[in-house]
Structure formats: structure tokens, C-alpha cells
Chains A and B, each alone.
Chain A
Amino acid sequence: MSTPLIMFLVFIAITLGITYWAAKRSSGASAYFAANRSITGWQNGIAVAGDYMSAASFLGIAGIIAFQGYDGFLYSVGWLVAYLTVLLVVAEPLRNAGKYTMADVLAYRLRPRPVRFMASVSTLTVSTFYMVAQMVGAGTLVALLLKGSGISYNWAVVIVGVLMVAYVVFGGMLATTWVQIIKAVLLMSGTILLSILVMAHFHFSFAEFFDAIAHVKDGDKVVNFLTPGLRYKPPYGPLDLISLGLALIFGTAGLPHILVRFYTVPDAKTARISVVWAMIIIGSFYIMTTFLGFGAATIVGKAYIAKNGGINMSGPLLAQNLAGDVFFAFISAIAFATILAVVAGLTISASTSFAHDVYSNVIKHGEPASQAKEVTVARITAFVVGAVAILIAIVLGPTFNVAFLVALAFAVAASANLPVIVFSIFWRRFTTEGAVWGLATGLLSSLILIIVGPSIMNVDGPNVAVAARHLIQAHPWFPLENPGIVSIPLGFLGAFLGTMMSKEDLDAEERYTELEVRANTGLGSERAVAGH
């Protein structure tokens, strides 16, 4: 048995043990959906970081920096700064006024059925896109990392799918939280170790390290990898970069799997503290992408990475180069754990939203009998979500370009979710029509602009392999890969116009008074369940 395989199995055994432990403690809806609201600030902070630092960060950003230098580091910046929106604008009001999902806050003051339905459609869209991207990534990665173990892409996808469903169905939010915590601790240890090894390679001299970065061999040229513009080239590059920034800064605060995390803590103050913990961890991690990415560029080299698995293998190959096969196995196992934890977080937020918003409140009109069934419905939903994600990932196959799916998830979160969250917390006049219009415009405009953008619509040369070809062979109608710069204003505009064109809802405005008091004082907020 290969070393990576043994390390995978150890991780799986530990996480399943936690799931068993959590299953014995999870009874009732508050336990299942919100871990009894008993997660502490630092625990939730680590879990938020674990939910957020996906394989796209660990493997993707290291890879982009290794291949295109400084522009990849720009990604890192946006992923941290985005948490200021979470900290300053959404975390505390959401914790004070909601129960399990972001739609709770909207339903509080608006007509619950239409807003819950639309919010759930948006949540499921974001979660599915994000999950499929992770699953395809996981399949490719496991097949690469476990080369020779006989585990194919399809099997890897099935294993990831089955595990994530097992965590969520049996262990609920408590197990999912602890899987995130373990993963985040592993990811941070691996990254710190790798960074130290990179610096050791340069005799712990920053001058030597940055000097090497300024003289990277790229083919037969020597390139300064600290120079901006290697990836984002004119004419549209700079605009695309700003558009990406907008999606990150406004999208993170609308990601359903991040938002549900704030319901697992006892109160708004703990939610705030957990965001700060998350920012410390996430910030340190993204600063260290300097060592991972530039380390791979200078020590391993682009040519070698391209021949041995490609851009996403930059981090693991750096580990192999610096400390041999066992460390390679350790870093690979961390990458696998990273994906598994993120998909588990997505599964629980998707199934919570379906059970709590659509089943209990839209289909069953919020009657008490249906609320008792929410957990069962959520478990069934998790099964269905898992099966659908496995199927889509297998149909798309390992060569499918998944990067745009993540861009799409952030764009939808920023353009559909954030405008209605912000308006319901801060705008008294906001109406149900405004929320529905805002969600619909944000969702549709992001989808359409991605479809007619260069990720899906482009003309390929005759030498491009069939699997890598763009789905629509035509000149792109929209020049940017990231639709945020257009779709986010459209989402806000839709919510604004929908409100202004609808009749003033005096009922909703009166309940806004209550929401305002709740959001700002925590009066009447959901309490932690004492003991287990």
C-alpha cells in the first residue's frame, strides 16, 4: 500500500470516529442543524477557515503563483479582505435574527414563502456549482496522487461523495464542524512546514528568496515573478481583476456554507470573535501562499510541474522536492482532507436550506408538525445532493474546466444573496417583491454573463483536445471571466426597483422595527442548548 493511501485512510478513520461520536449527541433540530449553538468562538473560527480554504486555495492559488507569479498573489489578498464584509456587516445581525439559514432573516419581515423559496434556489445553486467544482477537483487529484493504487477518477468521486454524505447524514453540524477543524489544523500545519522548508532552502534569507523570485527561469527567458500583469493582460485583464475582487468582497458574505456557521455559536459576540479567529488563520494562510507558490516557481520550476501533473500539483510537487515521498504523501492527504471538509460543509448548508426553507416553510406553511420532520428531510436531501453531485462530476469527467464554477458560485452569492441580506437588515422600506427581484436578477445575470463569457463561449484552435474545448464555439459576447462588475450592481438594482415599484408594505416595516432591535441587541435570539 502506498504512503498517501495509508494517510488518506487514517484521516477517513478519524473523521468517521468523530461522526460516530457526534451522532450519539445529535438529537433534535437545533443539535442537527446548529450543533446546539454550543461551538465556541475559536472553534468556530477555525471551522469557518476550514470551510473557506478549499482546494482552489491550497492547490489552485499556489499553482497560479507558481506559473504566473504576482497576479496569483492578488487572489490571496481578496480572499482575506472579504472577511471584513462578513465581520462588519452580516455576521452579528444574522446570528441575532436568524435560526438556521440566511432566509430566516428575510422571512422575518417579508412574506416568508416567496422569499424563502427564492433564497433556497439561490443557496442550492451556489452550493451545487461549488460542490461540483470541488468533486471534479477531488477526482482528478486523488487519481493523480494515488497513481498506481488502482483508484480511478470515478471511484475517487464516489468515495468523496459517500464520505461527505456520511458525515452530514449521521453526524450533522457537530460532525461537520469537527471535520472542518481537523482539516484546518492539518492544512495550517502542512502549510507552515512547507513554508519553513522553502525558507530553509534559501538559508532563511528573505533577500535570497526574493532575489530568486525576481529571476525565475521560464523557458529560455528569465522573468521577474514579482511583476504584475503576467496573468491579467490588457485590454480586459485589469477589469477582470476588479470584477473578481468585487465577487470576492461581496460574495463571501453571501456564501451559504459560511453563513450557516454563525448559527452554531451561542451569541452574536461569539460570532464576531469567531470571524476574527477565522481572519487570523485565513490571513496567515494566504500570506504563506507566497512561500508555496513562489517556492514552487523557483525550486521546482514550471517545466517540471507541467510535465508531472500540471499546475494544480505545484504544492505537492514542492513538498516532494523538499522533503521526499512521505512529505508528499502528507501534503496530498491534506489536499484530500481539504476537499472532503469543504464538500461536507456545502452539503449541510444545502440540505438545511431545503429542509428548513422549502419543505417546512414553503411546502408545509411552517406548521409545527413539519418542523419536527425537518431533520429527516435534511438527511434525505443530503443523500440526494450527494448522489446528484457524484453523477454530475462523473458525467463532466476529469478534464472539465471547473475554475469558472467557483467564479460563478461567488458571483451568484455576491449578486443575488448579499443585496437582499443587506437591504433586509438596513432598509426599512424593503419589500417582498424587492427581495424576489433582487435574488432573481442577481442569479440570472450571473448565470447568463458566465455562459456568454470567455469561460464557456470561445473559439478553440484545431489542436485543442475535445474534452478541453469550450462548450459554445463562438466569439464571447461578454469579455470578462468574472461577471461581478455587472451582475452585482444588477442584483442591487433589481432589489431596489422591485421595492420601489411595489406598494409600501406597512406590515413589513413594522416588523422591521422588531428586526432592527433584535439584530442590534440580540433580544429574543436563539439560545444555546446547555449540556448535551
Chain B
Amino acid sequence: MAGPQTTSKTESGTSVTRSDWNQIAASAEFRELLAAKSRFIVPATVFFIVYYFALPVLVGYAPKLMSEPVIGVLNWAYLFALSQFLVAWLIAFLYVRAANGFDEKGKKILSNLDSTHRQEGR
């Protein structure tokens, strides 16, 4: 009784069957899409987590160092905190650029499915 209650449709309106899902999942294009996604998402996630937690760790355990003024009265602590905003925006920007490529790959997979269905005369 588990699972989807409604049948899924492709863009052109044909039904997606169990074998379709399995075929897509096993296809080289789909595997390449997943690999391309992880190539971006895994390092980006690791990087932002490390970069972010460096801030509370440094201000928490090295407050003397972080209070050192750098520009005028501005210290490392404030500048590092400010850099977090820029880094977050930069990662978001890079991800959107990379994701446009993922969208292309995804579209190709779906249009392959449509043409298979047409050949089978569904």
C-alpha cells in the first residue's frame, strides 16, 4: 500500500512505468548527472561548514588573536564574520551556475524517455 498514489506522467503525457524508473536510474546519463552533482555539492558543503565553524571556534578559543585590530579599529573577528556573508553569497552564485548544467543533463534524460515512449508507440 506504500508508495505513490497517482501515476506519474512525462512531459508529453505518457505514463511512467516501473521499468522506466529502473532504466533511467541505470542509464549512463543519469549516473553522470549524479556524479556531476556530487562533484559540486560535496566539496561545497564541506567547505562552507568548515569555514563557518572556524568562526565560533576562533572567537571562542582564541579571542585575543581575533581582537587584534586590522584596519583602524576593525579586528579579525568582525572582518571574518563579514567575510562569511560574502563567502555564502559566492557559493550560492557558483552553485546556481553549476546547477544550470545539471538542468541541461536532466532535460536530456527526460527527452530520451519521451522518445523511447514514442518509439514504443505509447
Contacts and interface: CB of A to CB of B under 8 A. Distances in A.
A74 B49 CA distance: 15
Interface string B90-112: 01110110010001001001100
B60 A237 contact: yes
Interface in B1-53: 1-5, 8-10, 16, 18, 21-22, 24-25, 30, 33-34, 37, 41, 44-45, 48-49, 52-53
A126 B60 CA distance: 29
B78 A70 contact: yes
A149 B23 CA distance: 68
Interface residues on B, range: 35 or more
Contact of B2 (A80, A110, A279): A110
A365 B5 CA distance: 11
The secondary-structure label for the interface of chain A is helix
A517 B103 contact: no
A210 B74 contact: yes
Interface stretch (A53-61, A241-249, A295-303, A326-334): A241-249
Contacts of A238: 56-57, 59-61
Given A80-B84, A229-B63, A517 B48 contact: no
A410 interface: no
A505 B7 CA distance: 23
A513 B25 contact: yes
B109 A521 contact: yes
Q: Which 4 A-B pairs have the closest CB atoms?
A: A238-B60, A524-B8, A228-B59, A214-B73
Interface of A: 70, 73-74, 76-78, 80-81, 83-85, 87-89, 107-112, 207, 210-211, 213-214, 224, 226-229, 232, 237-239, 241-242, 244-245, 249, 269, 272-273, 275-276, 279-280, 283, 286-287, 365-366, 507-508, 511, 513-514, 516-518, 520-524
Interface of B: 1-5, 8-10, 16, 18, 21-22, 24-25, 30, 33-34, 37, 41, 44-45, 48-49, 52-53, 55-57, 59-61, 63, 66-67, 72-75, 77-78, 81-82, 84-85, 88-89, 91-93, 95-96, 99, 103, 106, 109-110, 113
